[in-house]
Copies of this chain bind each other. A is one copy, B any other.
Amino acid sequence: MNQQLHNGETSPHPGLAASTARHYPRAWQRPEVDRILHRDEHLFHEGESLTRAYVVVSGILKSYVIDEDGREQIIGFHMAGDTIGFEAVAGCPAASSVQALNTTSVRRISEAGAGNRTESTNQAVLLGMYQEMLRLTRTLQMERRSLEQRLAVFLIDFGERQARAGCSRNEFLLPMGRKDLARHLGLAPETLSRVFSRFRNRGILNVDDNHVTVLDPGALRLVAGHWDSPSARHSGNMSG
């Protein structure tokens, strides 16, 4: 259930986001790019009818929905290797809007229409949607946890993804602004800032604007996994 956290191993290259552009996953030698989006550009909007699904080649996007009072709810961030737009395969309208946070390249991976689908495509899509549902479920659980834990889990998870892309697990450039990150985590930007400061004061990490260095991964993991929140004190087995 929890994400694997391999520790100790420091990445050979202390590469930051700048190097992200060069480090494509090996699986696609010379990745074919079908579209390049610039900062703030949308890949598609919520409700739009989709014809293709996409895989992110480089860069980062956010997916979000706007609720009835105009507030933006960030569902998730999508980085190299992530697939978005499963709705296309199901023939359904886009469930969320997807917007690039930086210059981002994507590749189309699927055609709409039942006749076009192979069994393996179907399997891949089902698997992708399944994982998306797991991710949403995890996000949902995060909502009920303390700020500190939410941020810690996010940072660890982000580090994992960085590591998978060949970059450092413990030193990276957050590609999104504080406001986006705060909204994703479901808290006020001021509060996010405060938690960052708290972590810095405790020596857990160093943060200079978007440049984050995790100094004490163990402590961070401790915050992520166990917390002294009031709810933990009393709860035993409450299955009803």
Q: Which residues of A contact B (CB under 8 A)?
A: 1-2, 7, 9, 13, 40, 47, 65, 67-73, 75, 86-87, 89-93, 95-96, 114, 117, 119, 122-123, 125-127, 129-130, 132-134, 136-137, 139-141, 143-144, 177, 179-180, 183, 186, 225-226, 231-232, 235-240
Contact = CB atoms under 8 A, between A and B. Distances in A.
Contact of A144 (B73, B132, B179): B73
Contacts of A180: 240
Contacts of A127: 90-92
Contacts of A67: 1, 141
A183 B239 CA distance: 11
B90 A129 contact: yes
A117 B237 CA distance: 41
Nearest to A235: B71
B240 A130 contact: no
A95 B134 contact: yes
Contacts of A69: 226, 232, 235
Contact of A126 (B1, B93, B125): B125
Contact of A90 (B68, B114, B126): B126
Nearest to A225: B68
A65 B140 CA distance: 11
A68 B1 contact: yes
A75 B140 contact: yes
6 contacts: A69-B235, A90-B123, A129-B130, A143-B144, A179-B238, A180-B240
Nearest to A120: B114
Contact of A71 (B68, B87, B238): B238
Contact of A141 (B73, B126, B239): B73
B126 A7 contact: no
A13 B126 contact: no
Name, among A123, A129, A232, the residue most crowded by chain B CB atoms within 10 Å (CB to CB). A129
